[in-house]
Structure 1
Amino acid sequence: MINCLIVDDSPIARDILLEYCRFLPKLNVVGSCCDALDARDKMADHEIDILYVDINMPVLSGIELVRTINKKPQVIFTTAYNEYAVEAFELSASDYLVKPFSLDRFIIATDKAVNNIMNAIEARSHSLRDNFLFIKNERATHRIDADKILYLEASRNNTKVVTEDEMFISTTPLSLIEKNLPAKRFQRVHRSFIINTSKVTSLHGNKVFIKQNELPLGNNFKSDFVKAIGLDGF
């Protein structure tokens, strides 16, 4: 469910928005407020995903309200005036509805806000997956913090995984583990070695050093590796 909050000093405008929201079952209206201060109280008690807010209101305008919000929801301004559109979009508003607006225009604005929410959730999910991976050995499957991996070494069908804290042998081939590694941080430097580029301490000819570990740098991988660590022309 998508939690939404309606803020408008006009009872008729609030009723119209409530009616429109009922056409979209995914919307859960957690409140309908007549002013911005009441809305701030509601937002302190509920996680709001979409804020439908009028601009011209007493005490605190809709634009002023949005400026006071630290964790901003998707904002859809609903107003009888179009001269505030530029200011509204400077606040990263999802959409700007000029009254009177139709149900289909409301749905378009809401779908845009929902898509923004889903994209943000997906981005966070990818970020979380990029931070961890699961690696199996003979006894168990371990969740490994990718940032702590120093390097991985192929050993027949097994893989030696060396982290800041430990070393263990995975029963998964290096080629399969490679597919789940964050590509921006890990680089193959040899047919048998993949390293965490953020852990490189020095480079000497065809040798890469990660702390006390000396690793080979294959000629076929050298060009891509030096580009990856920002040493083009080395």
Structure 2
Amino acid sequence: MINCLIVDDAPVARDILMEYCKLLPILHVSGTCLDAFEAREKIQKEPVDLLFLDINMPILTGIDLMKTLKHPPQVIFTTAYKEFATDAFDLGACDYLVKPFSLERFIIAIDRAAERIGRLNINTESKSEVPRNNHLLIRSEGVINKLNYDQILFLEASRNNTKVVTPEVTFLSTIPLSSIEKLLPLKLFSRVHRSFIVNRSKITSLQGNRIFINKSEIPVGNNYKSSLFEIIGIKTK
């Protein structure tokens, strides 16, 4: 269960979020707030895993609220203003939904938040713990290949197929990247772009919005950059 708090001064916006949340059993809405001050008080008193946060609110904006929280929960901004997206992701926001947003886009944001929350829980466990399996089975050209996780450099979406890149050969799987992602351990792999998942231990360098693994250059999407930097221990400020 993910405990959620909805913070928005618009009743219609709160109602829409409530209805969307009811459709996903993983979400439990612990409350709604009309402004940042009420939200701040609730966060200090009750456990909140995920904050749906509007930006344009009276006196204290959503961006300002997040800056005041020493240990903020995961945050999905829900706003009508596109221009604050960079500020939001600089603060480590999980996602940024521009109103009006669809249910499909909402679900994508929740999946992203759930992955991050799950990863944080994993990070509290013993670092010596290893995944139950240490390999991935990939069918390519009629052959099932057993690839140890350490062999995989990165994975790339190719239409409805997935390229699995190793130092020696690239395998083409007919399974979509999103399905393969569910089989990979979060301790080792990160999605860095809607079309790329990388083995973090294989990253040789970073430059701006690009990752280099050996001679391969991989783009880093803005929605994934802050999360990636958080995992590998790079401070953005």
Structure-2-length-normalised TM-score: 0.53
Match of 2:112 in 1: 112
**Structure 1 Cα separation of the partners of residues 106 and 82 of structure 2:** 16
Structure 1 unaligned residues grouped into runs of 5+: 131-234
Counterpart check, 1:65 vs 2:61? no
* Residues 1-234 of structure 1: pairs in structure 2 closer than 5 A: 1-127=1-127
- Give the partner amino acid of 1:100: P
**CA distance, structure 2, for counterparts of residue 77 and residue 44 of structure 1:** 19
Give the Cα separation in 2 of the matches to 1:5 and 1:93.
Answer: 15
Asked which structure has the greater RCO (Cα within 8 Å, sep 6+), the reply is: 2
Alignment deviations for residues 3-59 of structure 1 (CA, whole Å, 9 cap, x no partner): 010000000000000000000111111111010000011111211111000000001
**Which structure's CA Rg is the greater one?**
1
- Count of aligned pairs between the two proteins: 130
Q: What is the distance in 2 between the residues matched to 1:124 and 1:88?
A: 25
Call closer, same or farther: CA 1:20–1:126 in 2, change over 3 Å. Answer: same
> Cα distance, 1:128 vs. partner?
7.5
Letter in 1 for 2:58: P
- Normalised to the residue count of structure 1, the TM-score between the two structures is 0.54
Partners of 1:72 and 1:43 in 2: CA distance = 8
Cα distance in 2 between the residues matched to 1:90 and 1:128: 31
Note the C-alpha offset of 1:127.
3.1
Q: What is the CA–CA distance in structure 2 between the aligned matches of 1:89 and 1:44, rounded to whole Å?
A: 23
Q: Deviations over 1:110-157 (max 9, x none)?
A: 110010010111121133859xxxxxxxxxxxxxxxxxxxxxxxxxxx
Name the CA distance, whole Å, in 1 between partners of 2:41 and 2:128: 32
Q: Distance in 1 between matches of 2:19 and 2:128?
A: 38
Please list every run of 5 or more consecutive structure 2 residues that lacks an aligned counterpart in the other structure: 131-237
- Cα distance in structure 2, aligned partners of 1:128 and 1:10: 47
